[in-house]
Structure 1
Amino acid sequence: MATNLKNLSEYDASLVASAEKMKFGIVVSEWNPDVTEELMNGAYSTLEKHGAKAENILVAHVPGSFELTHGARQFIKHTDVDAIICLGCVIKGDTPHFDYVCQGVTQGITELNVKHKIPVIFGVLTTDNQQQALDRAGGKHGNKGDEGAITAIKMVALTQELKASKK
């Protein structure tokens, strides 16, 4: 569904499990910091709102959106997080660089999800201009960081539920 038809920050809280016993990694791109820091603030506060403890929310910064995949991989290798939220912003410019970065980060996050047992959430804005990015980082279309946090909680809950059903 197109973002202009849905607010990224609106969801049915009754459908979201408690995050009290969950641990999260958030990887944030330093590129376009006026956008990505708002995405991170949204994700962090939404996790806390649903019970995640501050000591169970680990944040790491990487230089750009392309590096989100490597940052997420480091969380997988070196921590015991239950899910990782990747937050970035790629704004279309005059060269094909936008296409390569978007394709690379999308493929990288997809591969992490296929190869590893924990969910890696795609919270990367891919916009035509700065205003579209701001509108999705706490502006008129809500905050993609909120959406990433809710997705992470739901995916951890699903994983835990399916593991428990195997026993």
Structure 2
Amino acid sequence: MSGEGAPTLTIDGSELRVVIVAASWHERIMNGLIDGATRALREAGVGTVDLVRIPGSFELPLAALHAAASADAVVALGTVIRGGTPHFEYVCQAATQGLTDVTLRTGVPVGFGLLTCDTEEQALDRAGLPGSVEDKGAEAAKAAVATAVTLRGLQDRAASGANRGGIRGTTEQNATGFRAAPPA
């Protein structure tokens, strides 16, 4: 969600419970990611935020799966920095696929805040620390909350029977709710 074209979201997360699951490797970087995520959740008005620390990024999917059982959204934060062995690829692929699986199996959004960087400098640039170019912790938190709010709107809409029996009009769902799409 960074860079040119990144969305500007107005989010009301006051009715949400969000769990941050955060790896422990690369403490300085992780502290920046956690601070950014926590700040973004506070700005979105999220009612309940819990932080769960785990050993490493490989453990993110399992922790996210358990967190999803009692949360409206999960923010997964970790840092993997390339070394001289294939370990980087294994951990990154397993964590990424695992987090995707958690989202699809549970229906609970998981904000993807896993930094997969070639160097520590790249990770520091994305950690939301003073002097950082990006704040991936905040971006992951905003994505998780915006998706949770959108899903609630879709569930409410389905429960009310909106658009049953075919498409009757065009609407656009966003983090602030449904609104009519502009005429074609």
Q: Is the pair's TM-score, using the shorter chain for normalization, greater than 0.5?
A: yes
Judged with a 3 Å threshold, the aligned counterparts in structure 2 of structure 1 residues 38 and 140 are, in CA distance, closer, same or farther, namely closer
Structure 1 position 17 matched with structure 2 position 17:
no
Quote the residue 1:155 is aligned against. Answer: 147
After TM superposition, the runs of 4+ consecutive aligned structure 1 residues lying more than 6 A away are none
Please report how far the alpha carbon of residue 155 of structure 1 lies from its aligned counterpart in structure 2 after TM superposition. 0.3
Give 1:83's aligned amino acid. A
Give the helix-richer structure, 1 or 2.
Answer: 1
Displacement of 1:11 in angstroms is 5.1
> Does 2:35 match 1:45?
no
The sequence identity of aligned pairs, in percent, is 37
Question: Would you say the 8 A contact 1:27–1:61 is kept in 2?
Answer: yes
Gaps of 5+ in 1: none
Per the TM alignment, residue 95 of structure 1 is displaced from its structure 2 partner at its CA by 0.5
Cα offset, 1:76, TM superposition: 2.3
Tell me which amino acid in the other structure corresponds to 1:155. Answer: T
Look up the match of 1:96: 86
Partner Cα separation in structure 1 for residue 107 and residue 142 of structure 2: 18
Query: Does 2:61 correspond to 1:69?
Result: yes
Q: Does 1:108 align with 2:98?
A: yes
Unpaired stretches in structure 2, ≥5 consecutive residues = 160-184
Aligned length: 156
Q: Within 1, Cα distance between the matches of 2:39 and 2:113?
A: 15
2:138 paired residue among 122, 131, 146? 146
Q: Which has the larger radius of gyration?
A: 2
CA offsets 1:3-41 (integer angstroms, 9 cap, x no match): 6xx18xx752xx322111111010000011111111011
AA paired with 1:40?
Answer: I
* Contact kept in structure 2, 1:84 and 1:120, CA below 8 Å: yes
If the length of structure 1 is used for normalisation, what is the TM-score?
Answer: 0.88
